Amino acid sequence: MDRERQKRAPIYEALKAFEKKRVVPFDVPGHKRGRGNPELVQLLGEKCVSLDVNSMKPLDNLCHPVSVIKEAEELAAEAFGAAGAYLMVGGTTSAVQTMVLSVCRAGDKIILPRNVHKSVMNAMVLCGAVPVYVNPEVNQKLGISLGMEVEKVRQAIEDNPDAVAVFVNNPTYYGICSDIKTIVELAHARGMKVLADEAHGTHLYFGKNLPMHAMEAGADLAAVSMHKSGGSLTQSSLLLLNKGVNADYVRQIINLTQTTSASYLLLSSLDISRRNLALRGEESFKKVVEMAEYARGEINSIGGYYAYGKELVNGNSVFDYDVTKLSVYTRDIGLAGIEVYDLLRDEYDIQIEFGDISNILAYISIGDRIQDIERLVGALADIERLYKKDSTGLLSGEYISPKVVTSPQKAFYSDKVSVPVEKSAGKVCAEFVMCYPPGIPILAPGEMITDDIVQYIIYAKEKGCSMQGTEDPAVDRLQVLACPPGDIP
Amino acid sequence: MEFWFSELHTGNVKLSVRIEKQLFSGESEYQRIDVFDSEEFGRFVSLDGEIVFSEKDEFIYDEMVTHVPMAVHPCVKNVLIIGGGDGGVAKELLQYPTVETIDVVETDEMFVDVCRRFFPDVACALEDPRVKVYYDDGLRFLRNKKGRYDLIINDSTDPFGHTEGLFTREFYGSCYNALKEDGIMVYQHGSPFYDEDEAACRSMHRKAYRSFPISRVYQAHIPTCPSGYWLFGFASKKYHPIRDFKPKEWNARNLETWYYTTHLHMGAFMLPKYVEDLLEEEENKR
């Protein structure tokens, strides 16, 4: 990486130059540098609205970059050690969907762990790909899905030689990494592509002593959430490409669904964040690691909580662990993760990333300060003191093996009927059900609904998880296939 | 030459003090620290542009956070002062022979150094053998302390700066834990007058009220504070500030004060209607 070149930020520079020209706008956006919407200016500031401009020659066009956006993408590729990079404005969701749509056509098989983000399954609904799930091992105590074991991936590849791609979370929301390098070797040996969801892995490209990133492992495509650990604005993201990927075809796929009015606020935030990461990332993530490790030590010394770290590494289902993550197991104090999550917000004015059935996850980033960590630790200590309960009777977030009856696309577009959740066991689900965050589906279209799943959904609702994905906003009813499972073609 | 120090009390109101001389300006890891000499308030310190104490009115809050709990608790031996880096509160406490140890926890070492250098008459209290200064985050210092103190005084004034953590529910909870069974906590409760201060004031009372069985608020007039009107919180596990008040015993000590008297003690808890109302509203929430 050329540090001198990385000091540049072409989109940012072009915006600065454009601002100085004081061009009279007879184009969109219609707020015309905010003059037409004073209340918006008051909320966002003059600077911000004046940068909300349209694509034009001096500022390039995201749909077909030839100048400053192209340069920014090249700089991003260089910074991330990739052959190519695309700036994305539809969230990492759009990057993940592009990965799947770029390698799968209708009926193609894709090998993936079940604990993927819903965007992967949405892409399968769109393109008609068929999932082949590798059931991840589950840590019984923590109730979280771990990484994909190499042996199970090898088996899946052998059983499905016609599969076109293998999909890997690198890392999972909780920080668990699979042996992505070996998985790439296995897949490439059979001519399959490897897609990596690095929504939670931007920092792997810049920090020292962190798990291996997808480009280094040789994965073909990677979706990187710059707006998570990278510091850019919400909804901005990056799609990385390795050598041997047809970059122009990927651009076409992006343009199938991407807006033609990309926001320059998002684009410039990607540009500036990339520069910041390239120049100062290593140092920043060193601090993040120190803060996370400090918090882990302090939380573990409270008693009752378990803030897990590198000790989970077992060389297989937990090949590596991302120590910037701060996940805490809470069931031993008699509270579900989601209950601690709610207490932190309602009673202590602390908003954390999410709480599930057994864990909470606090997101530590380059924006944190040690005094805020002290608050989080202090609040957890206080919760332990005031709200600790007997932990018997708490359900653990067990992994329920999915039974795929038909492809997500077929199920989604079939004739459906609506049934109450508690009467849905034995039917085939036609929609998604998930807690958000983390957004990993409990049910995806085309999967068999079982008693265990029904019980889990009811329990998660009771505990206050925010459920979504269903047509019924209250998640009291589920859409299921009209024809019985036996008759599905 | 006219040389003025101005502090915004709200976006639309400011307090300006004519300055004779600036004596110090420095940036610590946590805040900007300035020391000035002025005609009206004498020497004063500002942190991030806000006056934290002046020679002229410092006695008021030092006395109010010390003598009020000391006239209620029958025998205070171990005291913790959080953010008392100037030594003013410790100095008041040292007048009591029952006090055996005073732990002072201050995050910012530079602040203590500045106080020692420019306010030696007050900061000298920190050199007393009964006083021990710890440079640490208040929340962190408290976390593992259990049943250790008779009295905790939170001398930090700013709920928005780097001491934000000392105005949170986790802080009150940690204090509760660190106090003995009949312990008292006294804290700076801010000013209830301007809108933005009122919100902080409400939230403090709500948190303390839920953390302690007894939680009352008392008042004082402090000219350099926003609106000149300031509140303190009295949170306690056992003693009520009025019902358990021991004026005779306190007067028998014959301490010299300039603001506090046992009559004022009673009056300080008699709050204006609008303050009573906003506190009650917070108590009834939930």
Q: Give every CB contact of residue B153 below 8 A, 6+ residues apart in sequence.
A: B65, B66, B69, B79, B80, B81, B82, B84, B89, B185, B186, B187
What is the arithmetic mean of pLDDT over A155-173? 96
Contact status of A348 with chain B (Cβ, < 8 Å): yes
| pLDDT tier for residue A448 given thresholds of 50, 70 and 90 | very high
The residue among B170, B176, B282 with the most chain A CBs within 10 A of its CB, best to mutate, is B170
Cα–Cα dist B101/B151, whole Å: 11
| pLDDT tier for residue A467 given thresholds of 50, 70 and 90 | confident
Cα–Cα dist A14/A69, whole Å: 10
Per-residue b/e over B261-279, b at no fewer than 16 CB within 10 Å?
Answer: eeebbeebbebeeebeebb
Contact A374 B171 (CB under 8 A): no
Contact status of A137 with chain B (Cβ, < 8 Å): no
Using the predicted structure, report yes or no on whether residue A139 has a pLDDT greater than 90: no
CB neighbourhood size of A433 (10 A): 24
What is the arithmetic mean of pLDDT over A234-260? 96
Contact A377 B139 (CB under 8 A): yes
| pLDDT tier for residue A456 given thresholds of 50, 70 and 90 | confident
SS3 B4: strand
- DSSP H helical ranges for A57-193: 68-80, 91-103, 118-127, 150-159, 180-189
Long-range contacts of A261-265 (CB under 8 A, 24+ apart): A261/A28, A261/A54, A261/A55, A262/A55, A262/A62, A262/A63, A262/A87, A262/A89, A263/A52, A263/A89, A264/A11, A264/A15, A264/A51, A264/A52, A264/A53, A264/A59, A265/A48, A265/A51, A265/A52, A265/A233
Contact A385 B165 (CB under 8 A): no
Contact status of A347 with chain B (Cβ, < 8 Å): yes
For A309-318, A432-441, B66-75, which range has the lowest pLDDT when averaged over its residues?
A432-441
Using the predicted structure, report yes or no on whether residue A362 has a pLDDT greater than 90: yes
Q: Give every CB contact of residue B177 below 8 A, 6+ residues apart in sequence.
A: A385, B142, B145, B146, B147
Q: In what order do the strands lie in the sheet with A306-307?
A: A306-307, A325-329, A359-363, A354-355
pLDDT of residue A398: 63
Using the predicted structure, report yes or no on whether residue A393 has a pLDDT greater than 80: no
Using the predicted structure, report yes or no on whether residue A370 has a pLDDT greater than 90: no
Beta carbons of A262 and A91 less than 8 angstroms apart: no
What is the arithmetic mean of pLDDT over A105-115? 93
Contact status of B18 with chain A (Cβ, < 8 Å): no
Beta carbons of A125 and A408 less than 8 angstroms apart: yes
Q: Which residues pair with B50 in a beta bridge?
A: B47
Cα–Cα dist B230/A403, whole Å: 66
- Closest-CA residue to A457 (of A429, A481, A484): A429
In eight-state DSSP terms, residue B78 is E
Cα–Cα dist A40/A89, whole Å: 21
**Greater model confidence, A140 or A312:** A312
Beta carbons of A64 and A154 less than 8 angstroms apart: no
A437 preceded by a cis bond (ω within 30 of 0): yes
DSSP A290-349: HHHHHHHHHHHHHSS-EE--GGG--SSTTSEE-TTEEEEE-GGGT--HHHHHHHHHHHH-
Contact status of A386 with chain B (Cβ, < 8 Å): yes
Cα–Cα dist A97/A233, whole Å: 20
Using the predicted structure, report yes or no on whether residue A489 has a pLDDT greater than 70: no
Q: Is B159 exposed, middle or buried (0-12, 13-18, 19+ CB in 10 A)?
A: buried
pLDDT of residue A396: 66
Q: What are phi and psi of A117, to 5 degrees?
A: -70, 155
pLDDT of residue A403: 87
Contact status of A375 with chain B (Cβ, < 8 Å): yes
SS3 B119: coil
Cα–Cα dist B275/B219, whole Å: 10
> H helices then E strands: how many in chain B?
10, 12
Instruction: Share the mean pLDDT of chain A.
Output: 92
Q: Is A29 exposed, middle or buried (0-12, 13-18, 19+ CB in 10 A)?
A: middle
What is the arithmetic mean of pLDDT over A275-280? 96
Beta carbons of A76 and A230 less than 8 angstroms apart: no
Q: What are phi and psi of A148, to 5 degrees?
A: -85, 130
Beta carbons of A118 and A439 less than 8 angstroms apart: yes
Using the predicted structure, report yes or no on whether residue A100 has a pLDDT greater than 90: yes
pLDDT of residue A351: 95
Q: How far is CA B231 from CA A17, A272, A472, B195, in A?
A: 52, 45, 51, 15
pLDDT of residue A184: 97
DSSP A339-371: HHHHHHHHHH----SEE-SSEEEEEP-TT--HH
Contact A382 B142 (CB under 8 A): no
What is the arithmetic mean of pLDDT over A311-339? 94
Beta carbons of A447 and A405 less than 8 angstroms apart: yes
The sign of the torsion formed by the CA atoms of B164, B170, B172, B175 equals negative
Q: Which residues of B touch A381 (CB under 8 A)?
A: 143, 170, 173-174
pLDDT of residue B256: 93
Q: Give every CB contact of residue A160 below 8 A, 6+ residues apart in sequence.
A: A109, A111, A132
CA distance to partner chain A, nearest, from residue B213 (Å): 14
What is the arithmetic mean of pLDDT over A446-470? 87
- Closest-CA residue to A104 (of A135, A126, A133, A87): A126
Contact status of A378 with chain B (Cβ, < 8 Å): yes
Among A302, A347, A371, select the one facing B165 at the smallest CB separation: A371
pLDDT of residue A366: 83
Which pTM was predicted? 0.84
The reply to whether B121 belongs to the active site is no
| pLDDT tier for residue A301 given thresholds of 50, 70 and 90 | very high
Tokens matching residue B117: 């250098």
| pLDDT tier for residue A367 given thresholds of 50, 70 and 90 | confident
Cα–Cα dist A470/A118, whole Å: 13
Strand-pair category, A165-169 with A109-113: parallel
Residues 233-262 of A with CB under 8 A from B: none
pLDDT of residue B159: 63
Among A371, A382, A386, select the one facing B137 at the smallest CB separation: A371
Q: Which residues of B touch A349 (CB under 8 A)?
A: 168-169
CA distance to partner chain A, nearest, from residue B140 (Å): 6
CA distance to partner chain B, nearest, from residue A362 (Å): 17
Residues 270-309 of A with CB under 8 A from B: 298, 301-302
CB neighbourhood size of A57 (10 A): 8
Using the predicted structure, report yes or no on whether residue A391 has a pLDDT greater than 80: no
**Greater model confidence, A240 or A25:** A240
Describe chain B by its helix, strand, coil percentages, rounded to 5: 35, 30, 35
Q: Of residues B57, B103, B150, B155, which has the active-site annotation? A: B155
Strands (E) in chain B, as ranges, are 4-10, 13-27, 32-38, 42-47, 50-54, 78-82, 101-106, 131-135, 149-154, 179-190, 214-221, 229-236
Q: Is A349 exposed, middle or buried (0-12, 13-18, 19+ CB in 10 A)?
A: middle
Cα–Cα dist A97/A114, whole Å: 16
Strand-pair category, A138-139 with A144-145: antiparallel
Beta carbons of B68 and B268 less than 8 angstroms apart: yes
Cα–Cα dist B244/A468, whole Å: 55
pLDDT of residue B144: 83
Cα–Cα dist A246/A300, whole Å: 48
CA distance to partner chain B, nearest, from residue A374 (Å): 6
Tokens matching residue B255: 């301490």
Residue with tokens 């002290």: A374
Beta carbons of B174 and B143 less than 8 angstroms apart: yes
* ipTM attached to this prediction: 0.78
SS3 B7: strand
* pLDDT, tens digit only, all 286 positions of chain B: 899 999 999 989 999 999 999 999 999 988 999 999 999 999 999 999 999 999 999 999 999 999 999 999 999 999 999 988 899 999 999 999 999 999 999 999 999 999 999 999 999 999 999 999 999 988 899 988 999 999 999 988 766 666 777 778 889 999 999 999 999 999 999 899 998 889 889 988 998 898 899 999 999 999 999 999 999 999 999 999 999 999 999 999 999 999 999 999 999 999 999 999 999 999 998 6
Contact status of A128 with chain B (Cβ, < 8 Å): no
SS3 A13: helix
Among A348, A372, A377, select the one facing B143 at the smallest CB separation: A377
- Closest-CA residue to B57 (of B112, B15, B1): B15
Q: How far is CA A142 from CA A15, A292, A387, in A?
A: 48, 19, 20
In eight-state DSSP terms, residue A168 is E
Contact B173 A347 (CB under 8 A): no
Describe chain A by its helix, strand, coil percentages, rounded to 5: 40, 15, 40
